[in-house]
Chains A and B, each alone.
Chain A
Amino acid sequence: MTKRLLAATLTAALAAAVVVAAASTRPTTRAANAPIKIGISLSLSGDFSDPGKAVKRGYELWAAYVNAHGGILGRQVQLKIVNDASDPNQAVSNYQKLITGDHVDLVFGPFSSLLTGPSATVANRYHYAFLEPAGGGPKVFALKLHNLFFVQPAPVVKCGDSFVRYLKTLPAAQRPKTASYASLDDPFSSPIADAMQQQLSSGLHVKTVYKTIYPAETTDLTPIVAKEIAPKPDMIIGGTQSEDAYSQVKGLVQAGYSPKFLFFSNGANSPTEFPSKVGRKNVNGIFSCSDWTPVAKTNGNKLFVSQYVKKYGGTGFDIDNNSSEAWAVGQLLQLAVAKTGSIDNQKIIDTLHKGAWPTIEGNLSWDANGSPSGDDLLVEWINGKLLPVYPPGVAVAKPFSPKPPWGG
């Protein structure tokens, strides 16, 4: 009796699933004026929801602008954004459904290298181009996917290179002699510090007096700060994300230690959050790296900033980098299609692998695995404002050192 009941229930559940499947599969329209469907999986809930929503704003802003100005190849752009709840399982399921169920014409990337890797693999299987705004960790490029394009000037791990080059421009007496490295254990943060340490110790003979990598959920960084300042280093380099950068700064302020050079790979590059979290009077002289700033003189940047501010309010400095990266993805697609004259994925892939492409993120070009061949910007806090200071071609202000004491 129970078995029959069970059979009935299971069949019902199956039937329901089938109905869901059938209802969601739409036939493809190949009509020339049908909208171009772009499928995107984004983290609209869960751990990545804040940056995920910033990416969404960028994509939507771009789509609205493009549609108001003739669309792409005369066709309107239609974004189909689905939520992956910051879960790679869900992201994989989403892209599978978007590509094979909804038959979208193109796809854009999700937020974070964690989700980009598995998603790009799915896209590659179906030979879709994968332009992505936020997956720049080394593991993504290790996949050796020919269809992948990280739409930022440099791979994440090279973010600190500009800072090292800046240090080289200083006369020997002003350079730092010793350094402490404290980094977060995650795919983007510690690799940056490690890369910098390598270049600093071999190229500039900076002695490493302390190095540590702390786990991701560490909220209490005071023991680590205590240890990193104990050898009294000239310079402290933090391979960080935002929260731990704020914690390190607060820890340093409380301990009353102000190194001559202070660099954070993340956190300190947030124009509005950083001063509010660590105190406006504590920011000056701190360096960071960034892929984009609102004042950078790149192709279409003024337009982007004005469009964003018009729709969402605030100033250019309130714009989250994730939104600019998303816009750049759309912008890149437009440029590529203008060249190929079609939205065929393979043609887009082939054409993007040649030459340089001017976007708001800079002049972009990639190697065979999708890793960009440029450099990120070095930014510094000057008089309470975050400005690009190196390389000189894109700098808006001159860098200064050493760092003033706290509160100055």
Chain B
Amino acid sequence: MLIALPFAFTAPWVQDLFLFTLMYAALATAWNIIGGYSGYISLGHAGFFGLGAYAMGITFTHISIGDGYRPFFFLPLIGVGVAVASVPIGWVAFRTRGATFAIVTITLLFVTQQLAFNLRSLTGGSQGIAIPTPSFPVSTYNVPFYFGMLGVLALSMLISWWVRGSKLGLALFAIRDDEDRARGLGVQTGFAKLASFALSAGLVAMAGGVWAYYLSFIYPQFAIDPLVTIGMVLMTYLGGRGTLWGPVLGAFVLVPAQKYLAYRLGASDFYLVGYSGVFLVVILLMPRGILPSLAERWRKLGLRQTHHDERAKEVAAS
């Protein structure tokens, strides 16, 4: 929990960069709860992000934003709301497994996007929703949003950490290893899956809420964007699927890199190719991600060292 400190960087654009980094770190951590711990790869989580964003948007076209801090207090409500809404969705999806599950979640993502486009009276359709901007002082405008996102990240990590140590976590890991055996042993697989799904959906939605408020504009194709899912998944895989800090690491590496490249390299459609390349490299060469691979390397080094010491002792003793 080292970096969770307020920043001495007053340049708004730097704060903006970190805000997005924190956002993806939160998203990846939340995704990890279902994708990493249980092994069920949900490719539709961007849909929940969008739901959170729209929830924020729709609420504040009807209520005023008060002193500007009110939307932040609505976040937990949005989180819980989307988590509850995700249960029936999860129930349908969990009737399948493996690749079919992933396909179903992709489909749900597109369904959500279509709904956002088509339910014009509610969502504004393709014209989107505009959220009123708060009158925070200009020089520190980004700071409240930064802390909002930091809060979501902290909550995500807290929940992720708690799940790991709890019975729920044990159940999830058991499911990842061999679901049918777990079920045979009496593990409540159905409940575990739904619970982790709901938790992760709620957290993702909260991140979406902060994002919507920050950007102050919500359009369907950007709020519900398959590339957001890919981002979450890629960062989790990069950092280490199933670990606590892996997703955060993945985000801290990829988000600044992507923003920097987009800003500096200018006119280049190569960024999709670049994304694709990174993804392929990660999955084919480092499927367990940075943290586990490094940890294993370290352990092997340690083992070799111990072995070396023992041999040395043996030689010395003889």
Contacts and interface: CB of A to CB of B under 8 A. Distances in A.
Q: Is there a direct interface between A and B, measured as CB atoms under 8 Å apart in the complex?
A: yes
Contacts of A97: 13, 16, 263
Contacts of B125: 185
B20 interface: yes
A139 interface: yes
A6 B291 contact: yes
B114 interface: yes
B267 A185 contact: no
Contacts of A142: 130
A94 B260 CA distance: 11
Size range of the chain A interface in the assembly = 35 or more
Interface in A279-314: none
Size range of the chain B interface in the assembly = 35 or more
Contacts of A185: 117-118, 120, 125-126
Interface string B121-137: 00001111010010000
Interface in B263-305: 263, 265-269, 271, 290-291, 294-295, 298
B128 to A, nearest CB: 7
B256 A16 contact: yes
A96 B219 contact: no
A1 interface: yes
B291 A2 contact: yes
Contacts of A49: 269
B117 A89 contact: no
Query: At the interface, is chain B mostly helix, strand, loop or mixed?
Result: helix
B147 interface: no
Nearest to A124: B133
Contact of A13 (B245, B256, B271): B256
B13 to A, nearest CB: 4
Interface in B1-47: 2-3, 9, 11-14, 16-18, 20-21
A142 B128 CA distance: 12
B11 A2 contact: no
A215 B11 contact: no
Nearest to A119: B217
Q: Which of B120, B219, B260, B267 has the most CB of A within 10 A?
A: B267
B298 A118 contact: no
Contact of B126 (A1, A83, A96, A186): A186
Contacts of B271: 45, 85
A18 B256 CA distance: 10
B253 interface: yes
Given A21-B11, A89-B20, A139 B127 contact: yes
A17 B18 CA distance: 9
A125 interface: yes
A105 interface: no
A114 B21 CA distance: 23
A157 to B, nearest CB: 11
A255 interface: no
A360 B91 CA distance: 60
A20 B219 contact: no
Nearest to B139: A100
A191 B256 CA distance: 39
B216 interface: yes
Contacts of A16: 256
A113 to B, nearest CB: 9
Given A44-B266, A44-B268, 5 more contacts: A6-B291, A7-B2, A21-B14, A83-B263, A92-B215
Interface of B: 2-3, 9, 11-14, 16-18, 20-21, 114, 117-118, 120, 125-128, 130, 133, 138, 141, 215-217, 219, 222, 245, 248-249, 252-253, 256, 259-260, 262-263, 265-269, 271, 290-291, 294-295, 298
A-B pairs, 7 with minimum CB distance: A44-B267, A97-B13, A187-B127, A45-B269, A96-B13, A13-B252, A101-B13
